[in-house]
Structures are given as C-alpha cells and as structure tokens.
A and B are shown apart, each in its own frame.
Chain A
Amino acid sequence: MSCLGGLRAKLGSAWKAGVALAALVVVAGAPNATYAQGKKAELKVGFIAALSGPGMSWGMGMLGGLELAAEDVNKAGGVVVGDTTYTIKVIAYDDKYAGPPAAQAAQRLVSQDEVKVIFGPLGSVSMLAIADTTESNKVLVLSNSYTMKALSKDKPYTFRLTPTTAENSDPMVAFIAKDLPDAKTVAIISPNDESGKEVQSHSEPAYQKYGLKVISKEFYERGTQDFVPVLTRIMAQNPAILDLDGSTPVDSGVIMKQARQIGFKGKFVKVGGPGVADSIKIAGPAAEDLYYYSPWNPEEPKTKALTDRFEAKYKIPMNGLGIFFYEGAHMLFATMKQTKSVDTDVLRKALESQKEYMGLQGRYVWGGAKAYGINHQWIAPFFVGQVRKGAEVMRTKIEP
C-alpha cells in the first residue's frame, strides 16, 4: 500500500485520514521486508521529512513525488540489475521537522531497514543531523534543505535535489531589476533561523550586483503574527521593494496584507521558497504584482498532468518540492537502469559524471562546485512568476 496514498481521504473525512496515518506508521515501522526468492526483489528506499506539524504539507509533497515516481517505475517493470528485477518500496519516517527524530530515522533506515538510498530530509537541521550516519554507511542521500553546510567535499554521498537561493537569486534578481528599472532600494524581511539567514546572504549580493541598494534588513522569530511594528520600521526607510525572503507562504501573505494596510506602495518580491497560492489566499488583493520564485509552470501540460494525478491520488494540492522529488527519483532510478547497479559508489560516480538529465520540466544538470566545493547540487529550470488579478502568471523561464 502506498504510504501517502492512504491520506487521500484527509480533506473529505477525518477518520479515514486517521486510519491512513496509522497505516503510515505501520508501514514505516515494519520490520525488514523479506526478499522474494529468485530473480525478483524489493529495493527499499528510505524517506525522511516532516509528515506532521508545521512542515507537513511540504513533507507530504516530497513523499508523494517520490511515491509517484516509484509507481511509474514499478508499473514499467521495475529496475533490472543483472538477473534481478527490483520493485521500488518506499519506507517513510516522520522527523517532525527536527534534528533528533531525523537522526533516529536515519539510524533506523540504515541499521534495521538496510536501505542504501534516502530521499529527504526536508529541513536544514535534519539534513545536518543525519549526515554522520549516512556518510559513514555510504548511504546515498538526495535531499531538500537550504543550508550551505548540507553539501561539501567531506560528504561524497550527499546530493541535493532542490535548488536553493544560492542558485536562483542571481538570475531572478536580474530579471526583476530589468522589469522594474525605476526601483533602486530594497528592504528584506527574513525569519530568524538558518534558512532565513542563508536566503538573505544570497539575495543581498544579488540585489547589489544589479544596482539595487539593500537599505533595510529585518529578522523576525518564526511564529510571529503581528509584523506591523517591524514593518513600521521598514516603512520609515521607504524601500521600493520589500523582499519576503524565506518566509513561509502563510507568513508572506500576512506580511503583504499588513504592509499594505500601513501604506506600503512598493513591490513585493519572494526569492526564497515556493508556495505562492497560500500567500495569495491569505493576502488577497495585497498580493497583487508579487514577483515570486516558482519551481514550475502550473499551466504547462505535462506538469499539469502530474499535479492533477497527485491531487487525484492524495486529495491535496501538489507543492513545488513534490516535483523535484518526482523528477529526482526518476533520475536516480534511470541511473540505476543505465549503470545496471544499485551500489551506492557506482551510483554516486554516475551522478557526478552525469552531463544532463531531461525531465518533465526540461534540462537538469549537476553543479555547485564553486559554492560547495563539489558538484552535488541539482540545477533545475525554474520560473519567475507574478501575481496578476489574483492569479499566478509565469513571466519567464530560467534554464540552468
């Protein structure tokens, strides 16, 4: 049974979702699967992300993307390596968006479930927490997270599927600077944590490179609901652009609404993180003209078919992280087929020498040597969108 598939009834009926969550725990906690006799076997891949709590919607998107890719591969006959045909089985654990549960999950996946590949985790703290376990056991990790510390020469088995602002800020700001030639000043409002500081450290030099002066940088604690005092401080500087940085979609919506209420007349920009639909829902008309990073064009037919399939199966909208894990899982399974191996050393070297991967969204390449010292960062195509009349409009596609 699909782990997340059982959650499809969540929005319609609570008790069904409760049963599904219980099933998720049962599946996640199941003892080692018994390998079938002969030439068929299960290839267990681990998954770690927030499947409850505030990061749950992101985590569920990632898991759904992975499960749909596994479903595709299994339907197409699995992965053939030598004389063995593997069907993919996803074993998922909830890390509650925190380090200690992620470390425990990694330990369990490695020692009990004996996986050699882990997708996830979602958060930077979790990412750093699992590294010792995965690297020392040569487990291939295909992660999310935004921290610069996630990738380094010392972590040869760790790769990142989701592009960060280190990759996206520059081309996105270049487009905005060209689109708003009269804008000369920027204020950045960021959550006070690893990801907020990380995003700000990338966007600030990008703004300066394209002639936009960052005149105000403000941090707020996660959980803040009343941004008006900080916005009052920002407004005193009269910036032309207010960058919402790595704020969550909900926080971004609240910030835009409250900024407009106290008279902010400039443009909003969101360089960090996907999820603009929630921001529009919260901010309403205040979100008009917002420039935002989008991992996909929701109207592109292939993407739309995938998101429709996701929604039909799980009864929740697919989010931007889901597409990276769908594409990334397909890329890894294709690499297994090409190399005819599930050995992580073989796969690691194959990924490092992979020139490009053509996925649903277009061309993906491995990069990051300059920023991280190792080419383990997936560089994906992305879009700069803008909210117009309450709808998401894609302004440009940026290719790697």
Chain B
Amino acid sequence: MITTSTIAQILVNGLTSGAFYVLMALGFTLIFGILRLVNFAHGEFYMLGAFVVYHLTTQLGLDYFSAVALSALVIGLAGMMVEKTVFAPLRGRELSMLMSALGLQIAIQGVMAVVEGVDGFSIPSPVSGVYRSSWLAFPYERLLVVGLTIVVLAGFYLLIKHSTLGKSLRAVAQDGEAALMQGIPVNRVYAIAFGLGAALAAIAGGLIAPIFSLHVYMGQAALLKAFIVVILGGLGSIPGAVVGGLLLGVAESAFATLFGGLTAEMLGFLLIMGVLLWKPTGILARADG
C-alpha cells in the first residue's frame, strides 16, 4: 500500500541516488562537451578516486574530507596528464579517441586488479546514525552525499559562469577554432576540462564509497549510469546532467520500491526510451558547455 511514508522514502532514496548520478554525469558530459570524447574510462577515475580516499584515510590517517579533496586533486592532475599523453595526439579523430578511452579503461582496471586485488573494501563513514521520524529514515551519510553534491554543483556553476576559466571552457565548447583565434589556449583548456571531469568522478567515488563498497570493477556500473543520465539529459549539457540524474534516481527508486528491482530496471529503460522519443536529443540538449 502506498502511504505518505512510502512516498517520502522513495523521494529521499531517489534524491541520494540522483545526487550520485549527477556527480558522475557532470564530469562525463563536461568531457564530451569540450573534447567530443565519450570517455569510457570515466568509471575508472571514479574507482581511482575511491581508492585514493581509502588509502589516505585508512593507511595515512587523513580525515575523510581532506582525503576526498586531495583525491580530487590527485586524480584531476592525473586526468590532465592522461589527456596530454593519450588523447591530445589523437585530437579530431573521434573514433581513435573512443578506442583509446576503451583501452585506457581496460588498462586502468587491469593494473588496479593486480595492485589492489579483486576483493571488496570499505571506507568508514565520516558520519553515522540515521534521521528517523514516523514516516522517514534518512541515514546521515546519505544526507552528507546530497549536501556535498549541492556544494560541488554550486562551485561548478560558479566556475563555469563567473570565472575566466569557465568562459574559456564555454568558448571552446562552442567553437574550438574560434576560441583559438581569440587567443584562448585551447590545448590547455582541453587538458583542464579532462582533469576537471576526472576530479568530479573522483569526488563521486570518494563520496559514495562509504555508502557502497569499493572494488576495482566498481566503475563499470557507475559509467553505465553516467551514460544513461547524459543521454537522458542531453549529451554535453550540464543542466541536462543535473535534471537527468535526479530524474533517473527518483524514477529508479519509485519503480524499485513499488514494483521490485527487476521491474524497475525494465521500467527505467522504458522511461528513457519514452523521453528520447519525445526529445531525441535529450531533455536539455546542449545549451552551454
């Protein structure tokens, strides 16, 4: 029976999933918007981010929040280096870049399987306890993910809309050649965009790891979700990633609670097909980058 409590719980669960999807999709769509690259290795940056947080907190004793920030920095810089070495030489050859991204995904996963093993790990949550009322249970660690996603989104919005770097990113997304003629260092912008995307994936990995678990194959499912969200929201559209992520999160939560896990998967994809029939380019086709 559907009660107010059930609806509240569906929304809360969906909001948490949606926040995670938004974080994953944001970097994915940013990279596509700027580099025209479907980054199949995006899930691996998410996984690497989670593992960096794991080692910083459990082995070096760093506090969780500093570890997430440091992880984003490390993975962001690594992302920039990857862009310079792997993708920059292939610029303009979209198919070659796509295959390189696929190769990068397999390589990172393979190396991590050897280094970390294939067992699961867990990061202690920085907060514990559950907010409970007569109609709702909301674990604080999930509340934290939602809160930090809002903070990251706000920071990202300010960066894109109100900074010189943001203007450069938008200019390159609109027309790389025109941006170059205006004196924008396009190659550097490409590297920064990729690094930023990787850092966002790393933040997602660091935030979600205490709630789920971490293992070297965790990026696969996350990548699939990011892919669905950006197709739903509009490939390359940042507002689309936000809308798509939240829509997918709430829809999955509602379908799974009301109809069960398997039906939820099916209905989730039916919803996506329906949305794409209505708006073939996604809900908010790329308006800005």
Most buried by A among B6, B114, B257: B114
**Minimum Cβ distance to chain A for residue B43 (Å):** 11
Within 8 A of B (CB), among A1-59: 10-11, 14, 17-18, 21, 52-54, 56-57
Chain A residues near B132 (CB, 8 Å)? 263
Chain B residues near A10 (CB, 8 Å)? 114, 117
Interface contact A53-B257, CB-CB below 8 Å: no
CB-CB nearest in chain B for A258: B211
Complex CA distance for A18 and B253, rounded to whole angstroms:
42
Chain A residues near B113 (CB, 8 Å)? 52-53, 56
Determine, out of B159-167, B239-247, B258-266, the stretch whose residues face the partner at the interface: B258-266
Interface contact B212-A254, CB-CB below 8 Å: yes
Contact with B along A220-247 (1 / 0, CB 8 A): 1101111011101100100000000000
**Minimum Cβ distance to chain B for residue A232 (Å):** 5
CB-CB nearest in chain A for B132: A263
CB-CB nearest in chain A for B217: A54
Complex CA distance for A53 and B217, rounded to whole angstroms:
8
Determine, out of B9-17, B73-81, B96-104, B192-200, the stretch whose residues face the partner at the interface: B9-17
Q: Do A226 and B260 contact each other (CB < 8 Å), given the known contacts A236-B6, A282-B120, A316-B117?
A: no
Interface contact B114-A282, CB-CB below 8 Å: no
**Minimum Cβ distance to chain A for residue B258 (Å):** 8
Instruction: Say yes or no for A249: interface residue by CB 8 A criterion.
Output: yes
Instruction: Say yes or no for B220: interface residue by CB 8 A criterion.
Output: yes
Complex CA distance for A220 and B13, rounded to whole angstroms:
16
Q: Do A262 and B213 contact each other (CB < 8 Å), given the known contacts A224-B221, A233-B260, A253-B120?
A: no
Interface contact A218-B119, CB-CB below 8 Å: no
Interface contact B137-A17, CB-CB below 8 Å: no
Within 8 A of A (CB), among B107-161: 110-111, 113-115, 117-122, 124, 130, 132, 137, 139, 141-142
Interface contact B120-A250, CB-CB below 8 Å: yes
B139's contact among A11, A21, A221, A261, by CB below 8 Å, is which? Answer: A261
Interface contact A253-B213, CB-CB below 8 Å: yes
CB-CB nearest in chain A for B212: A225
Instruction: Say yes or no for A278: interface residue by CB 8 A criterion.
Output: yes
Complex CA distance for A17 and B112, rounded to whole angstroms:
12
CB-CB nearest in chain B for A281: B122
Q: How large is the interface on A (under 10, 10 to 19, 20 to 34, 35 or more residues)?
A: 35 or more
Interface contact B262-A249, CB-CB below 8 Å: no
Contact with B along A56-89 (1 / 0, CB 8 A): 1100000000000000000000000000000000
CB-CB nearest in chain A for B120: A250
Chain B residues near A390 (CB, 8 Å)? none
Complex CA distance for A236 and B9, rounded to whole angstroms:
11
CB-CB nearest in chain B for A57: B118
Most buried by A among B14, B113, B117, B261: B261
Chain B residues near A192 (CB, 8 Å)? 261-262
Q: Do A262 and B139 contact each other (CB < 8 Å), given the known contacts A10-B117, A229-B13?
A: yes
Interface contact A14-B111, CB-CB below 8 Å: yes
Interface contact B121-A281, CB-CB below 8 Å: yes
Instruction: Say yes or no for B271: interface residue by CB 8 A criterion.
Output: no
A250's contact among B141, B208, B215, B252, by CB below 8 Å, is which? Answer: B215
CB-CB nearest in chain A for B140: A261
Interface contact B10-A21, CB-CB below 8 Å: no
Chain B residues near A223 (CB, 8 Å)? 220-221, 224
Interface contact A263-B114, CB-CB below 8 Å: no
Chain B residues near A54 (CB, 8 Å)? 118, 217
Instruction: Say yes or no for B218: interface residue by CB 8 A criterion.
Output: yes
Interface contact A232-B10, CB-CB below 8 Å: yes
Contact with A along B220-234 (1 / 0, CB 8 A): 110010000000000
Instruction: Say yes or no for A175: interface residue by CB 8 A criterion.
Output: no
Most buried by B among A262, A263, A278, A283: A262
**Minimum Cβ distance to chain A for residue B288 (Å):** 30
A225's contact among B111, B218, B258, by CB below 8 Å, is which? Answer: B218
A263's contact among B6, B130, B252, B258, by CB below 8 Å, is which? Answer: B130
CB-CB nearest in chain A for B249: A226
Instruction: Say yes or no for A284: interface residue by CB 8 A criterion.
Output: yes
Contact with A along B247-281 (1 / 0, CB 8 A): 00000110111101110110000000000000000
Interface contact B212-A262, CB-CB below 8 Å: no
B262's contact among A219, A253, A278, by CB below 8 Å, is which? Answer: A219
Q: Do A218 and B260 contact each other (CB < 8 Å), given the known contacts A11-B117, A56-B118, A316-B117?
A: yes
Q: Do A225 and B261 contact each other (CB < 8 Å), given the known contacts A232-B9, A233-B256, A261-B139?
A: no
Most buried by B among A57, A228, A262: A228
Chain B residues near A17 (CB, 8 Å)? 114
**Minimum Cβ distance to chain B for residue A323 (Å):** 18
B213's contact among A14, A218, A254, by CB below 8 Å, is which? Answer: A254
Complex CA distance for A312 and B253, rounded to whole angstroms:
46
Complex CA distance for A54 and B255, rounded to whole angstroms:
28
Contact with B along A301-340 (1 / 0, CB 8 A): 0000000000000001000000000000000000000000
Complex CA distance for A221 and B213, rounded to whole angstroms:
16
Chain A residues near B13 (CB, 8 Å)? 226, 228-229, 232
Interface contact B221-A282, CB-CB below 8 Å: no
Binding site for A on B (CB under 8 A): 6, 9-10, 13-14, 16-17, 20, 110-111, 113-115, 117-122, 124, 130, 132, 137, 139, 141-142, 208, 211-213, 215, 217-218, 220-221, 224, 252-253, 255-258, 260-262, 264-265
A-B contact pairs, 29 of them (CB 8 A): A14-B114, A14-B115, A21-B114, A52-B110, A53-B118, A54-B118, A57-B117, A192-B261, A221-B262, A223-B221, A225-B208, A225-B212, A225-B221, A226-B13, A226-B212, A228-B13, A229-B10, A229-B253, A230-B256, A230-B257, A250-B120, A253-B120, A258-B211, A262-B130, A262-B137, A262-B139, A278-B119, A283-B122, A284-B122
Binding site for B on A (CB under 8 A): 10-11, 14, 17-18, 21, 52-54, 56-57, 192, 218-221, 223-226, 228-230, 232-233, 236, 249-250, 253-254, 258, 261-263, 278, 281-284, 316
Q: A229-B252, A230-B257, A254-B213 are in contact. List 18 more A-B contacts (CB 8 A).
A: A10-B117, A52-B113, A219-B261, A219-B262, A220-B262, A223-B224, A224-B221, A225-B208, A229-B10, A229-B14, A229-B264, A230-B260, A232-B10, A236-B6, A261-B130, A262-B9, A263-B130, A281-B122
